[in-house]
């Protein structure tokens, strides 16, 4: 999944990176992390389905189509 790594590190980064290893992440950070991880799992499943439909081969053309599909899809949260 293509995502803004600065956003992810800032809001969903691990607590150890803040210098205090025994600090529990705040509620917002845990919510954002859960959302990002859920979206990543969903994207991984979509990629697997896309590759299965293409015969499991990742050619340059399939990679281009996959990237186009992932970038053009609706980015709303789905149940």
For 15-62, write each residue's pLDDT tens digit: 445 555 678 889 999 999 999 999 999 989 988 988 888 888 888 988
* The token pair that represents 39 in the structure block: 């979206």
Dist CA 35 CA 19 (whole Å): 24
Domain that holds residue 54: 5-72
Give domain status of residue 16, yes or no: yes
- The answer to whether position 21 is within a domain reads yes
Q: Is residue 78 part of a domain?
A: no
Closest to 15 (Cα-Cα) out of 6, 7, 26, 5: 26
> Whole-structure pTM over 0.95, yes or no?
no
Domain membership of residue 77 (yes or no) is no
Count of domains observed in the chain: 1
């Amino acid at each position: 999944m293509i995502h803004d790594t600065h956003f992810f590190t800032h809001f969903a980064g691990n607590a150890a990176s803040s210098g205090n290893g025994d600090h529990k992440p705040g509620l917002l950070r845990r919510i954002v992390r859960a959302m990002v991880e859920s979206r990543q799992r969903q994207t991984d499943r979509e990629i697997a389905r896309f590759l299965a439909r293409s015969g499991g081969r990742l050619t340059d053309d399939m990679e281009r189509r996959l990237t186009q599909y992932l970038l053009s899809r609706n980015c709303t949260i789905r149940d």
